[in-house]
Chains A and B, each alone.
Chain A
């Protein structure tokens, strides 16, 4: 399909639309960028102009400061705009607050770039919307059939059950600063947990931001200055990188939990010394990746980042034209586990 190649190709900076002259989630500064969501590996600072949802723009300014780009423009969900002769529409991706898929249309061909997405229910963001297309550009963070995320509510119940079992120990929960932390809090509130939840300093501003957007997170307090005995039987949230860092020593002997899709695999959990793995992910699991591909009706599938090989194999078994893009520069949720200190803001 020559039209598709006109619409979207690959450059060292990432996905690029030659006819529109813009990149999507570029990994280095470019003139014009369309951004799917606020995770720092997708949303970088220093672009000339940025088009993204209002929430994503706000998250970028929380993280990088007001002047994160030369110019910004807000894209409303479901409302098409034009860049040259390309029709561009943002659709909800269900990944984190403000996350979007980006649909590009021209000459009767529609390509949808998924960004990161999930199909599970999440009270902190708008649900994923399937968009029919010719080419579906999908992520594959959890693109192996061993990844089937359980109901996240059951994982929250696990954590609450552990508080009753070990009432003398703080429960330290590693959760990514954007999205996962707020979703964990919302899940706990949904399960009826009303106590104050304590936050590592790196989570405070984004929690405040979520609340300013009408997402109620209940009583939250900074953990600063508190002693292990003040935190006995309490929940403390921190970025994954801090779980095994000097910072965590102030909690004494906590039960360490980690909320991540990677916790599905025991060796991964043990590698981090996690005692209470919570399988809560903001990415589509295997069943949802494959179901979504089918629902889009796409005849061609490009797999951006994650476990491309298995998903490409699955597409080909179904007679779909599929290829791995092997995009570099996207730090998958805790994939490089020891490096998570540096990429703790990602995904």
Chain B
């Protein structure tokens, strides 16, 4: 458990993807079976035991500490598991054996609820601070160390000369603690048989269209589709030869199994195929806002009411496997044909086809993108984020291959706002002030004031970041921990042109509005702060926006 605790500890502080992979690979290389297998299960969210409730943890600490001291400590630390891990008193006699991760997981799986407090207390007695923290995070079900299942599998692949996709292929035929997987990647055993009829296939991703792309790309080589404002999913289903059971899975883009939150969709997967598509909520045939979909995500259980009021739907855009035949090497055009026939044959109301957008030139496509309602998206136009471009001849390749697929987002709205606060970034950017809170004017005359409307931390170049950082340091008027207040009045301040995708009402912001995906599109060194936009501009945008647009700013 100690080695696993150290790993979690390090991962929790590490912002870099490659460094996270290195940390996990190092762990898998040095920790023996079955311990590392349980760690892999924990990191990929594959452990199945009833989680302990925070109430149980509170009760245990209450028996052991003074309530005033606990209260002061909890206030200071701000996290229950961490406070308990740090405050847990050293026992008179420390149990001589530190529990292994394997012991913890195996015991939890077979422990009756009433026995849990005593067992947990014994473990906490035996562990050190980091070990207690990891143990409490594990059993209360929230590691939250910024590692996706995909990333953990990538680290496993690094143990041998194996592509992460290879791990993905065999993954769902495996069982915790993955002895045969480790044996295979380390060259000590055969490739595990994968009897999984519905494995995750890593998705193919698109590049953003950049300046100049259209000068060299031939419109005749591409098809276009709408880019929907939902969640990219993969729906896989098939019959297991071994168990004769029909398996159905709904995967997120990173391979997390999100089926439990969408039983209504799983029911619709009554086929033998793997579909790539967009998860949407449709009511009376109309796509609902991302906000509505958001309510159904991240839930372990769904209420009957949600199922009827917010029915989930898949808008399909690719077919990867059909009746055991892997179609991914075929050109897009051929796959699309198979997909159209497949959807027609399946004829399930929860499943439809993402339509193609006819266009003859890039100008024509730009027009469609500017006005999706007129170009075929009809009443769903508000759920269109832009368009996708796919080469006719593109095979389905995992990752983000160059030159095949592009995404071209809608022109965002822009306002001129004034920089108000800046906060230091993370990781590579930790020496820069790179998170910027900005505001627009409200009131007039002597009562005029700037009210914050959002926070942006990208959109600028490295060179611009250096200039922004210098501005912040030279114009700091107040400091609150890592945050600096920057001078912002009618005469002195920095105007930022902020682009954003959507706007919502917010009770959290003083201004009453919140932006979705704000980013700094231009720094207006030339513009005096007094000439920045007023809150009325945003309010007008809000009034004219359809409901589908009114998503809160903080969801992503």
Contact = CB atoms under 8 A, between A and B. Distances in A.
B427 A145 contact: no
A212 interface: no
B65 A267 contact: no
Interface string B466-492: 000000000000011111100000000
Interface in B72-92: 72-73, 76-79, 82-83, 86-87
A150 B431 CA distance: 28
Interface string B419-443: 0000011111011000000000000
Contacts of A148: 86, 129
Contacts of A194: none
A313 B13 contact: no
Contact of A271 (B87, B481, B484): B481
A21 B200 CA distance: 79
A338 B87 contact: no
Interface residues of A, number: 38
B73 A253 contact: no
B14 interface: yes
B546 interface: no
Contacts of A267: 77-79
A253 B428 contact: yes
B426 A314 contact: no
A57 B23 CA distance: 46
A257 to B, nearest CB: 10
B431 A339 contact: no
B87 A249 contact: no
A310 B72 contact: yes
B158 to A, nearest CB: 13
A150 B129 CA distance: 9
A164 B434 CA distance: 30
B11 to A, nearest CB: 10
Given A165-B23, A310-B72, A244 B430 contact: yes
Given A265-B82, A266-B12, A338-B482, A248 B72 contact: no
Nearest to A310: B72
A121 interface: no
Interface residues of B, number: 38
B13 A166 contact: no
B65 A145 contact: yes
A277 B120 CA distance: 27
B76 A265 contact: yes
Contacts of B66: 313-314, 317
Contacts of A245: 431
B14 A272 contact: no
Contact of A275 (B15, B68, B483, B484): B15
B26 interface: yes
A177 B275 CA distance: 60
B15 A146 contact: no
A324 to B, nearest CB: 13
A264 B19 CA distance: 22
A145 B87 contact: yes
B243 to A, nearest CB: 42
Given A145-B87, A253-B428, A275-B13, A266 B79 contact: yes
A314 B83 CA distance: 18
A144 B82 CA distance: 14
Contact of B424 (A147, A166, A273): A273
A150 B128 contact: yes
B431 A248 contact: yes
Interface centre among A146, A271, A275 (most CB of B within 10 A): A146
A256 B430 contact: yes
Contacts of B430: 244, 256, 272-273
B175 interface: no
Nearest to A162: B10
Contacts of B73: 144-146, 310
Interface string A199-238: 0000000000000000000000000000000000000000
B334 to A, nearest CB: 44
Given A265-B82, A309-B72, A275 B77 contact: no
A148 B133 CA distance: 14
Given A145-B65, A310-B69, A338-B481, A244 B78 contact: no
Contacts of B13: 269-270, 274-277
Nearest to A165: B26
B288 to A, nearest CB: 36
Interface of B: 10, 12-15, 19, 22-23, 26, 65-66, 68-69, 72-73, 76-79, 82-83, 86-87, 128-129, 424-428, 430-431, 479-484
Given A272-B430, A309-B72, A314-B69, 16 more contacts: A145-B87, A150-B129, A165-B22, A165-B23, A248-B431, A253-B428, A264-B86, A265-B77, A267-B79, A272-B482, A275-B15, A310-B73, A313-B68, A313-B72, A338-B480, A338-B484
16 contacts: A145-B69, A146-B73, A146-B87, A166-B22, A244-B430, A265-B82, A265-B86, A266-B82, A273-B430, A274-B13, A276-B10, A310-B68, A314-B69, A338-B481, A338-B484, A339-B479
Interface of A: 144-148, 150, 165-166, 243-246, 248-249, 253, 256, 264-267, 269-277, 307, 309-310, 313-314, 317, 337-339
